[in-house]
Amino acid sequence: MRFAPLALGCLLLTACEFSMSSTTAVSAGTPEPAAPAASPMAGWSVQGAAHDAYAAEIDPQAPREGHATIRFHPTRDPEGGYGTYMTSLDAAPVRGRRAHAIIWVRTQGVTARGDVWLRAQGIDSPADGPGMGYASARLAPSADFTRYELFVDVPPDAAHLQLGVGIGGPGMLWLDGVRIEAL
């Protein structure tokens, strides 16, 4: 399987070489959250309020440019809950610059919320929401692979740059050709 390169400034990484950063804190007496399902791309994970109702997997039956893609879909009725497949990167290479993300997404039967998003997060930014900078695009209910481009001005004190795709209900989406660069 081949994934398009991801570039941050002059640093070039493949999608499978991303490392995941987490700022989730668990206080004493709070049960540990359920471990997320294994991800088909290192550094990417299923998140969101209804994360346990969604899965991401390699799908050789929905190729783009001759190779398998990643399919993200509900595994049970999410009851309108949102799930996202995302990555979180150290913002250091893009601080004080504009981040540019390119991602190819295909959709089928997305009847509720469906989006692709890019955000800059501060060390104390809430896990959900716009953070320090945010860009998103709404996904069509059903469409062949479409190229989405997102831009975010990354503040000098940003801690993380996050990119994700998500749905809040039935349907499926596929992703491929992920690229992030500093302009």
Residue 85 lies in a domain: yes
Give the count of domains, the chain.
Answer: 1
Residue 23 lies in a domain: no
Q: Can you give the pLDDT at residue 141?
A: 97
Spans of the chain, pLDDT less than 50: 1-36
Q: Is residue 26 part of a domain?
A: no
C-alpha distances in Å from residue 63, one per residue of 59, 60, 120, 144: 7, 6, 30, 11
* Domain assignment present for 104: yes
Q: Which two tokens stand for residue 28?
A: 């004493």
Residue 127 per-residue DSSP state: S
The answer to whether residue 32 is domain-embedded is no
| 29 in any annotated domain | no
pLDDT for 133 equals 85
User: Which pLDDT score is estimated for 37?
Assistant: 56
Burial class of 152 by CB neighbour count within 10 A (0 to 12, 13 to 18, 19+): buried
Print the domain residue range for 64. Answer: 5-15+38-182
pLDDT for position 10 = 28
Does residue 50 fall inside a structural domain?
Answer: yes
Per-residue pLDDT, 125: 74
The per-residue pLDDT for 5 is 40
Do 154 and 141 meet the contact criterion of CB atoms below 8 Å apart? Answer: no
Instruction: Assign residue 76 the CATH number of its domain.
Output: 2.60.120.260
Residue 31 falls inside a structural domain: no
